[in-house]
Structure 1
Amino acid sequence: MMLIPTEKRLDADTPPEKRGQMRDGVRLLTYWSDSGRIVHGGFFQLAHQLEAGDVLVFNNSRTIPAELKTVDGIRVRLSREVEDGTWDGLILGESSKKLEFMHGLKALVTGPGTEPPLVRLVFSCSSSRLLRELYRQGDVIRYEHVARSWPLQDYQTVYASIPGSVEMPSAGRAFTWRMLAHLQKHGIRLAFVTLHAGLSYYGDDKWPNPALHPEAFSIEDEQAAIINDAKANGGRVIAVGTTVVRALETASDGNTIIPQAGVTSLYLSRTSKLTAVDGLLTGFHEQEASHIDLLQTFAGEEGVKAIYKEAVAKRYLWHEFGDMNLLMRQERS
């Protein structure tokens, strides 16, 4: 579904803090799917769209510098850890099966990855040492809409605590500690899950197939209890990002969230029935099929078209440094 021509999109290539704003100074477009009502405001006003007893669920995975460069200058982007020392990755350019990086780090291409164009990489060390090498010689993965390099800290949410995502779970980037405290003061509860996000784009107009794009996740007992208690007492569950939707719907038994750790390949389409999540906070991103399909589980096809048409007309900013979109399934009086 083509929503808008690319040339009409306003890509944000600079963090808000570098363009004279606070992190939470971006804009917020709120859409209620039952009424079709759209409200514009500032992201710091998010509490006005929620109610006491609602729970915001965040992904606390921390972004790692997941792009390496071989001694020959070939760029290698990691996508996900398959097992200790073994990763799916994307090689940008022609290379041999033997890859050599700085400081003695090596990797062997042993075959195809989970889906093309990913390949399976076996490194010469454990994943714990590889993580140290990534922080030593790796770089942040960035795409064409970001013209220059920004520090790793600009690709972290303030609450990120568990390293593992090769790209920032960007829906939570605009939150500040001040804003989190403000939300709690208004009776809105906070819960955290972990899902290590893989590559969202392979280049040359190729995006991952969600069914072939497994991602590791975990939900602890205490966090599941917060979510389940909110739901049982009439509160709404709002996922901060599509990664959280994927984790919660995977862990749902239809009524409650079951604490667990594992890998999910869940693909949510417009016909999927959501049992855990009542709302979604997300940014404005590429119009590739899986992302749009997931948005349609909340707003339907016409609703998503209306959201993106309004976002273009009001000049909202796209991508991880851009503005925010709250989709709620039902408006309360």
Structure 2
Amino acid sequence: MTVDFTLPPALEAHEPPEARGRTRDGVRLLVGRRATGEIAHHGFRDLPALLDPGDLLVVNTSATLPAAVRLDRISVHFSTPVPGADDRLWLVELRRLAGKASRPYAGGSPGEWIPMPGGATLTLVGRHSGRLWQARLSTDVVPYLRRHGVPIRYGYVRRDWPASAYQTAFAHDRSTGSAEMPSAARPFTPELVTRLVARGVLITPITLHTGVASPEAHEPPYAERYEVPEATAALVEHVRSRGRRVIAVGTTAVRALETSVDASGHVRASSGWTEHIVTPESGVRAVDGLLTGLHEPKSSHLMMLTAIAGHDLLVATYEAALAEGYLWHEFGDANLIVSG
């Protein structure tokens, strides 16, 4: 069963909460408990009181790249390196600029080269899918983006914001980075992290570098680079053995952890590229909850949420979010789903 709904434009977060007179952790938090079906309304600052000592939050340390390079008529969105290739061959999406927004650009042909700012050249090698190209930049991509790129912005965000608005409190891995912000962790502040630690809540890192989303087609994610460190895998196993909860901060953390579950059901250290997609049929084996944002209708992320929350609770949660005016997207409100 699918979860479908109509998202009113008024419930799209058009700017960071700081621009709305709030702090990062001043967003709302909608909590759903699968065991009881209970739905409750909180502020994000209430999070320490909603977790138990010994619970574990798994956070993504990937930093957000300025992954969009704008030209006169189109914008190039750099997604991920091509698996197994060198650092200059990436998957990219071409988007036609239309005022402050952009739309998918259907043009381009293999062998075509595109002049880029700073004297660089992007050569289209071949189509990877209907939306993405394999393309080679004439210089190393990540340093180039840090000089000439801006954060990816879709039409519901009405103006550009600095790169700092797209970094989370946990971002530190700047060797590559994510095309789009791992936004579930955006509301965390150093003060809130201190309160969580004082409460006895554990925090441990994974890294997953996200590719570009598909706001028009709602395609599932492509292969993404990830790492679950040895210490994180061991801590997840320890927490589970003590009967405490493992709560992923963001769908990226779920994807990394579930990729690292071995045949016996244990989380092991691993790294590389993951194509794992969590569905209600596959279920989850490593996590007991998910802290995330509110996702668009028909988004592939809703399959993962259904696997964790169950269909009935997820439908009720989104009905409550719509009824109470929660805000969607990367600068919006938050949703905590827990098993108990």
TM-score range, shorter chain: over 0.9
Q: Does 1:89 align with 2:89?
A: no
**Equivalent in 270, 274, 283 of residue 293 of structure 2:** 283
**Distance in 1, Cα, partners of 2:94 & 2:9:** 31
Q: Find the counterpart in structure 2 of residue 206 from structure 1.
A: 217
Q: Is residue 261 of structure 1 aligned with residue 271 of structure 2? A: yes
The SS at the match of 2:8 is helix
Q: Deviations over 1:286-316 (max 9, x none)?
A: 1224111111011222211100110111111
In the other structure, the counterpart of 2:100 is: none
Q: Structure 2 CA distance, aligned partners of 1:20 and 1:151? A: 17
Q: Which amino acid aligns with 1:158?
A: A
Unaligned runs of 5+ in 1: none
CA distance in 2, matches of 1:102, 1:38: 50
Contact 1:63 1:156 in 2 (8 A): yes
Partners of 1:12 and 1:102 lie apart in 2 by: 31
Aligned partner of 1:247 in structure 2 is 256
**Aligned residues of 1:242 and 1:280 also touching (Cα < 8 A):** yes
Q: CA deviation at 1:209?
A: 2.6
TM-score under structure 1 length normalisation: 0.92
- List per-residue Cα deviations over 1:199-241 (Å, max 9, x = no partner): 111x5x212234xx10100111122222222122222100000
Deviation of 1:185 (Å) = 0.5
Q: Match of 1:218?
A: 227
Partner of 1:47: 48
* 1:42-82 C-alpha deviation (Å, 9 max, x unpaired): 11111122111110000010000011134x54211111111
SS of the equivalent of 1:34 reads coil
Q: Tell me how far 1:145 sits from its aligned partner.
A: 0.9
For 1:1-333, what aligned pairs fall within 5 Å after superposition? Answer: 1=2, 3-7=4-8, 10-70=11-71, 72-82=72-82, 83=85, 84-92=87-95, 93=105, 94-95=107-108, 97-113=112-128, 115-126=129-140, 130-163=141-174, 164-201=177-214, 205-210=216-221, 213-253=222-262, 254-329=264-339, 331=340
Inter-partner Cα distance in structure 2 for 1:311 and 1:299:
15
Q: Quote the Cα distance in structure 1 between the aligned partners of 2:50 and 2:186.
A: 19
Are residues 197 and 100 of structure 1, via their aligned partners in 2, closer, same or farther at CA, if it must alter by over 3 Å? same
Q: How far has the Cα of 1:105 moved from its partner?
A: 1.1
Aligned residue in 1 for 2:99 = none
**Equivalent position SS for 2:92:** strand
Give me the whole-angstrom Cα distance separating, in 1, the residues matched to 2:56 and 2:220: 30
Deviating beyond 3 angstroms after TM superposition, the runs of 4 or more aligned structure 1 residues are: 93-96
* Counterpart contact for 2:3–2:302, Cα < 8 Å: no
CA contact (8 A) 1:87 1:121 kept: yes
How far apart, CA to CA, are the structure 2 residues paired with 1:5 and 1:286?
A: 9
Give the match's secondary structure for 1:76.
strand
- Partner residue in 1 for 2:98: none
- How many percent of aligned residue pairs carry the same amino acid? 39
Secondary structure, in 3 states, of the residue corresponding to 2:276?
coil
Alignment root-mean-square deviation, CA: 1.5
Q: TM-score, normalised by structure 2?
A: 0.91
Distance in structure 1 (CA, Å) of the matches to 2:190 and 2:119 = 40
2:231 is paired with a residue of what secondary structure? helix
Whole-angstrom distance in 2 between the partners of 1:47 and 1:193? 21
Question: How many residue pairs end up in the alignment?
Answer: 321
